[in-house]
């Protein structure tokens, strides 16, 4: 059973650098979500794709953040000019239509 896969699992970078994360959803899932989780808090929604279309973005998704899902398969989340406050766990989830969302184990980002 191949679940949601996220890479890398950990990323350490210096403030001001750009970073990109990848999410491979469960193969038949047409919906893909990105969430962010900071220490001690529950995950917070960032953005959502249905197939290749990005249909919703949270106000948390500043203009330094961009997400893509070319061809409706894998997705990437890029953060430009990283800041200390971007340190968090970035989680990806996928679902088929209205079925439960299934999460990957996330990418932990640390900004030095």
**Which residues contact other proteins (rule: CB under 8 A)?**
4, 6, 31, 33, 35, 41-45, 48, 50, 55-56, 58, 91, 93, 97-98, 100-106
Q: What's the length of the chain? A: 112
Select 91 or 111, whichever has its Cβ closest to other proteins.
Answer: 91
The tokens for 59 are: 């106000």
In angstroms, what is the minimal distance from the CB of 42 to other proteins? Answer: 3
Least CB distance from residue 81 to other proteins, whole Å? 26
In 3D, which of 90, 25, 18, 20 has the Cα closest to residue 52?
25
Compare residues 12 and 17 and give the one whose CB is closer to other proteins: 12
Phi/psi for 72 (5° steps) reads: 65, 20
Q: How far is the CB of 18 from other proteins (least distance, A)?
A: 24
Nearest partner of 24 among 15, 16, 32, judged by Cα: 32
């Amino acid at each position: 059973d191949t679940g949601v896969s996220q890479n890398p699992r950990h990323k350490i970078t210096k403030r001001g650098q750009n970073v990109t994360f990848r999410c491979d959803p469960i193969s038949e899932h047409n919906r893909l979500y990105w969430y962010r989780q900071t220490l001690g808090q529950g995950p917070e929604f960032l953005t959502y794709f249905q197939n290749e279309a990005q249909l919703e973005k949270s106000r948390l998704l500043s203009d330094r953040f961009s997400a893509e899902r070319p061809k409706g398969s894998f997705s990437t989340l890029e953060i430009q000019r990283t800041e200390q406050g971007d340190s968090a766990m970035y989680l990806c989830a996928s679902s088929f239509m209205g079925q439960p969302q299934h999460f990957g184990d996330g990418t932990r980002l640390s900004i030095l």
